[in-house]
Amino acid sequence: MKHRLLSFLIMLVCTVTFVSAQNRHFDVDDFKKKKAEYIIKEVGLTDAEAKAFIPLSNELLDKRFEINHNIRSKNREIREKQTRTDADYTHMIESSFDLREKELQLEKEYYQKFRKVLSPEKIYKFQRAESKFMKETFNKNGQKGKPGRK
């Protein structure tokens, strides 16, 4: 289970990074809407559950993106340098550890919030559905050759 969650987190970070790097016009609201529709259907959320859960899911997505953005911008500075030192490489490696650690803490925090509105079964289904959605989104965007573009 921990390996699946870690794999999902890495995939999510890569997807958000890839889509946002490839397309500065990425429509976050449209992405959230499509993801919410997908989650509601796949998990089988009632209207009341969706009303309580989707805002939490969107908060989590926003916080994941913020963590990723902060680390990405620091690493971009290093990658753009003509010559990198061992200290630069060490920083990039350690920042990737920090990213995963922060995201895991965030996941744990939101798991507790999710438990207040969904059953453990639906939380599990959400995790699987979110992972599936991200894979499908990534694959669809990658096949077009122009990720995230309308």
pLDDT tens digits, one per residue of 14-24 = 555 544 444 45
* Torsion, CA 134, CA 41, CA 48, CA 125, rounded to 10: -60
pTM of the model: 0.71
Query: Position of tokens 């309308």?
Result: 150
Give the C-alpha separation, 45 to 41, whole Å.
7
Largest Cα–Cα distance in the chain?
55
Q: Which residues fall within 8 angstroms of residue 57, CB to CB, at 6 or more apart?
A: 35, 36, 39, 126, 130
Of the pLDDT bands very low, low, confident and very high (cuts 50, 70, 90), residue 3 is low
Is residue 150 over pLDDT 70? Answer: no
Give the C-alpha separation, 2 to 6, whole Å.
6
Give the C-alpha separation, 136 to 62, whole Å.
20
Give the C-alpha separation, 132 to 128, whole Å.
6
Residue 20 contacts residue 26 (beta carbons within 8 Å): yes
Q: What is the pLDDT of residue 147?
A: 42
Residue 71 contacts residue 99 (beta carbons within 8 Å): yes
Q: What is the pLDDT of residue 127?
A: 96
